[in-house]
């Protein structure tokens, strides 16, 4: 299984071209799921797990991997399905989200496929397991579901969303201006986290669930004015989103005379040195790894106080 990821480092050229590669896997049953390869550090046969007291019920145990202790989350149970009972023939996907490393227990891992973000669609409306999806796509006539990992992780270990008192006292933004900004993220949990973190800045916050929806909203505003930055001076955008990713959105903004002055902060759980290169390539103003409310508030304060 290690061979399935041995060429991941060669795939970074996909970033910024509105393309991604998905690692396909299954939980209990025939349904296929996908995870972005750029969030995957390693795939391995499930090692012996250690059960610790007071673990969340969705955490199967901890694994000791290369000198590091990693929590192993049963993805089936965490998304409302039947728990994976016998782990000896299962796999764990070691991933990095929001500055932390975790393992996801899955029944089987299949292969990596190359996709265009335009082929990745928002999930169907509805309750149940669909609430754990950020997107879906079709492969070989079958529906592949892309999980909202940020929602899963937040339910297991909620992140702190309030800024510190020190940060609050250091803000220089004119809070009486009620600046209008846009937050773009395919995860509803992530959008709410950002809104809570920025509540102290007294902002008007519009939202969009992907780059295409955000671009349409911005172009609608542009139909009535020459410089949209006068209305929305700043956007905060995730990178990987259905239909149009954050890099492509930023490039589209920079290519439009009426939008080009909007400041763009990319805010993402992706990691890697290639991100900084892409920030410069597409013309973003800043890049922040999720999720630190003080860093986010500091960036917004900086760009709106200039």
Instruction: Convert the pLDDT of each residue in 111-150 to its tens digit.
Output: 999 888 888 888 877 655 568 888 899 998 999 999 888 8
Q: How many CB atoms lie within 10 A of CB 120?
A: 26
In the structure encoding, which two tokens stand for residue 259, read together?
């939008």
Rounded to the nearest angstrom, the gap between the alpha carbon of residue 15 and the centroid of all alpha carbons in its chain is 14
**Per-residue pLDDT tens digits for 44-92:** 999 999 988 878 889 999 999 888 899 999 999 999 899 998 888 999 9
Please give the Cα distance from 257 to 11 (Å, whole number): 32
Which band of pLDDT confidence, cut at 50, 70 and 90, is reported for residue 236?
A: very high
Please give the Cα distance from 266 to 239 (Å, whole number): 7
Helix %, strand %, coil % of the chain (to 5): 35, 30, 35
**Per-residue pLDDT tens digits for 158-173:** 888 999 999 999 999 9
DSSP-derived 3-state class of residue 232: coil
In the structure encoding, which two tokens stand for residue 265, read together?
């902060």
Phi and psi dihedrals of 154, rounded to 5?
-70, -30
Residue that wins the pLDDT comparison between 180 and 56: 180
pTM, 2 dp: 0.81
Which band of pLDDT confidence, cut at 50, 70 and 90, is reported for residue 272?
A: low
Q: What is the pLDDT of residue 90?
A: 95
Q: Which of 75, 33, 35 is nearest to 58 (CA)?
A: 75
35's CB contacts (< 8 A; 6+ apart) are 22, 23, 25, 93, 95, 104, 146, 147, 149
Please give the Cα distance from 92 to 74 (Å, whole number): 9
Q: Which of 72, 68, 80 is nearest to 48 (CA)?
A: 72
Which band of pLDDT confidence, cut at 50, 70 and 90, is reported for residue 271?
A: low
77's CB contacts (< 8 A; 6+ apart) are 57, 58, 83, 84
- 101 in Cβ contact with 94 (< 8 Å): yes
């Amino acid at each position: 299984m290690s061979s399935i990821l041995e060429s991941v480092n060669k795939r970074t050229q996909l970033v910024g071209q509105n393309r991604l590669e998905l690692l396909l896997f299954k939980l209990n049953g025939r349904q296929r799921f996908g995870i972005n390869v750029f969030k995957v550090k390693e795939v391995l046969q499930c090692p012996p797990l250690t059960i610790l007291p007071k673990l969340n019920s969705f955490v199967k145990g901890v694994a000791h991997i290369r000198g590091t202790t990693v929590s192993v989350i049963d993805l089936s149970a965490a998304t409302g399905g039947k728990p994976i009972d016998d782990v000896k023939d299962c796999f764990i996907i070691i991933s990095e989200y929001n500055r932390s490393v975790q393992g996801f227990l899955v029944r089987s891992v299949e292969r990596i496929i190359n996709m265009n973000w335009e082929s990745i669609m928002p999930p169907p409306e509805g309750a149940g397991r669909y609430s754990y999806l950020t997107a879906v796509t079709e492969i070989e006539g079958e529906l592949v579901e892309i999980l909202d990992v940020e929602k899963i992780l937040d339910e297991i270990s909620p992140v702190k969303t309030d800024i510190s008192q020190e940060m609050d006292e250091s803000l220089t933004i004119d809070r009486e201006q009620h600046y209008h900004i846009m937050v773009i993220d395919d995860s509803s949990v992530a959008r709410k986290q950002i809104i809570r973190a920025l509540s102290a800045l007294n902002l008007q916050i519009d939202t969009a669930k992907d780059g295409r929806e955000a671009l349409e909203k911005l172009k609608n505003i542009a139909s009535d004015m020459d410089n949209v930055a006068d209305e929305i001076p700043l956007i905060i955008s995730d990178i990987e989103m259905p239909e149009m990713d954050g890099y492509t959105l930023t490039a589209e903004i920079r290519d439009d005379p009426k939008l080009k002055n909007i400041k763009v902060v990319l805010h993402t759980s992706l990691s890697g040195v290639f991100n900084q290169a892409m920030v410069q390539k597409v013309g973003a103003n800043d890049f922040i790894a999720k999720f630190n409310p003080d860093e986010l508030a500091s960036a917004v304060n900086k760009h709106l106080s200039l």
